[in-house]
Amino acid sequence: MAGHGVPADDFVGRKFSYLVVGGGTAGLCVAARLSEDPDITVGILEAGAGHIQDPAIDVPGRYGEGIGTAYDWQYETTAQPGLGGRKLPWPRGKVLGGTSALNFMTWNRPNREDLDSWAELGIAGWSWDEMLPYYKKSEKFSPPDSEDVTEHRLVHDPTALGTDGPVAVSYSKEYSPSHRLWHDTLANLNVQTNEAHLSGSSIGAWTTITAVDAGSRTRSYAAPAYYLPNAARPNLVLCTSATVTEVVLENDQSASKWAAKGVRFHCEGKQYAATASEEVIICAGSVASPQLLELSGIGSPSVLEAAGTPVKISNPNVGEHLQDHIMTATIYEIDPSVPNPDTLRNDPVAAAMADHIYATTKGGPRTILPVSLCYLPLTHFVSPSRLSSLAERASTATPRDIARKCRLEQAQRLGQIEYIFDVGNWSTTMPPEKASQQEGRGKKAYATLLQILQYPFSLGSIHISPHHPHGKPIIDPQYYAGAQGPLDLEIQELCAQFGQKIVDTPPLRDFVQRRVWPPENLTEEEELRTWIVENTVTDWHPVGTCSMGGREGSEAGVVDERLRVYGVEGLRVVDASVMPLQIGAHLQATVYAIAEKAGDMIREDRRR
């Protein structure tokens, strides 16, 4: 079922109170909540197609199949000096549901301190206590069976979870063979199981919840959660395959203010315009939201003028302050008889059998997801003197710099590094001869330890191209580069050393046979550093490019605490780009919570 919504010709003939740009994770949530009021008419413009009931999206164990396809914008970074000149693919969802249709379904929350640090920047209303109701409002948690709780360490605080929201979340029913070793291995390193990992602290080892419907065992994402149940509402109108190219801004000369009045978009080779009587709400994500602002004349004069775009609102923060989670994948060889997802990718017979099991029982390999997580503070394995040395080199030029530096201080109990272990080869950089399934001695099987830096000092940018402003934007995360980037590289080295310690600890030690990537003979510190530079990739969690300004206002941000774009009436941004500081968590649940809160704020402002 690929098509959804109305034709563009029909869409532009409607009268809308609000236009939502982007039918993704945030956009569909905001639109659904606003359309609960029958006096409000909401139009959604989504660049991708519907692709509802597509097994490549819906079947949990087929995670990753949408990446690099028509469902993906297929962005790419610029050559990164800090990564040896490599360019990285940057997947982002171009499909109804956005990146929630492509991600790996992990469902977790940041630390209390992460959100409280936003409030400390003067961003009122965004502390942990104020955001928790919105996390809960978005989710419908199905508790696990008692036998699963015992066998798979499925511990959590039930009072912290929502039970009647749109997004179905649950624990898995089946697990990879390495998961049974995870909690005991970490316990042997004095890392305890976190029994309340959704309650404000992610520190410790835990089995993560995922965005999977417990009944159907299908991915729960924005399209089936927020759009489909409400698609019959006459005041909720969707147009797919519609790419917005500009927000129409009009200047009220008497008030000396700009106001958003609608958008221009193209669909199936034709150009269109749609109007909104109340607001335009940009929910295009951390890549496309700053791009659209710049195409509309909002941004740094130097960027806009280079692209030939007239400057309407000068704000040099648009597209800046980009922060991303930084990841490496260490690969280990395991017993080839161990079931792993690589087999399903490489063996059509095994894949067909797994598909049959899933179709008939909603079980088997197609329901297994990576759920063995651990977040640790650096204090767990970095000496106080080394940590102090790192903190001393951190910048204190701005309030946000100070907040990032504070996260390195010994008193902070934050999950600064995330480890995930699962069977299968997750590396995108391992040489093909290493990854071969027929490597001399016969068939190979692998497992991966992912290491993901949560609070990067590397700061990048996303801007329109001066030569092709309507093409793909220039994405420059500045991994390990700039004045502060070397701090990230040094921290990653320390974390890699502890990561190897995890795998060298029983019972996980007995599960792996040898390290494959990096090679076992790589031992010198300089060799490890080189390997990290050559093998670091994105964890697909960009934030900050249209961030909230807090008490510094437009001097530091793009939107205020109510997500209104500075200097423009009737224009908001609602997505991960508004986050002023990176969080120690996968982004999905927080993006839904931001959108839930935005829905309430927009309705409150409308009543004033």
Instruction: Tell how strand 16-21 and strand 313-314 pair up.
Output: unpaired
Q: How far is residue 302's CA from residue 317's CA, in Å, rounded to a whole number?
A: 12
Main-chain phi, psi angles of 603, to 5 degrees: -70, -35
Contact 28, 76 (CB under 8 A): no
| 586 classed as catalytic | yes
CA dist., res. 576 & res. 412, Å (int): 24
**Side-chain-facing half-sphere of 14: CA atoms under 13 Å:** 23
Closest CA to 462 of 547, 536, 401: 547
Give 159: exposed, middle or buried? Use CB within 10 Å, 0-12, 13-18, 19+.
exposed
Q: Which two tokens stand for residue 13?
A: 């003939």
CB contact at 8 A, 54 and 224: no
Residue 356 annotated as catalytic: no
CA dihedral 109, 111, 112, 117 (to 10 degrees): -110
Q: Give the integer Cα–Cα distance in Å for 316 and 304.
A: 10
The count of residues in the chain is: 608
Would you say 541 is a known binding-site residue? yes
CB-based contacts of 387, cutoff 8 Å, min separation 6: 378, 379, 408, 409, 410
**CA 134, CA 66: separation in Å to the nearest integer?**
29
The strand pairing partners of 257, in sequence order, are 252
130: β partners? none
Which residue type does 254 have?
Answer: S
Gap between the Cα atoms of 416 and 378, Å rounded: 6
Read off the amino acid at residue 257: K
Cα 487 to the center of its chain, rounded Å: 23
Which of the following is catalytic: 4, 183, 463, 541?
Answer: 541
244 among annotated binding-site residues:
yes
Cβ atoms of 213 and 220 within 8 Å: the answer is: yes
Nearest to 176 by CA among 420, 359, 513, 409: 420
- 469: number of CA atoms within 13 Å, CB side? 19
Nearest-angstrom CA–CA distance, 375 and 415: 5
**DSSP summary character for residue 397:** S
| Alpha carbon 530 to chain centroid, angstroms | 27
Report the SS3 class of residue 93: strand
Query: Two tokens at 459?
Result: 């700061």
Are residues 69 and 54 in contact, defined by beta-carbon separation less than 8 angstroms?
A: no
Direct distance between the N- and C-terminal alpha carbons of the chain, in angstroms, rounded to an integer: 42
Q: Which of 152, 183, 197, 586 is catalytic?
A: 586
Residues 6 or more apart in contact with residue 521 via CB below 8 angstroms: none
State CA 581 to chain mean position distance: 14
Tokens 């992460």, residue located: 114
Count of C-beta atoms within a 10 Å radius of residue 183: 21
3-state secondary structure of 476: strand
Residues taking part in catalysis: 541, 586
**Binding residue positions for FAD:** 95, 99, 244, 540-541
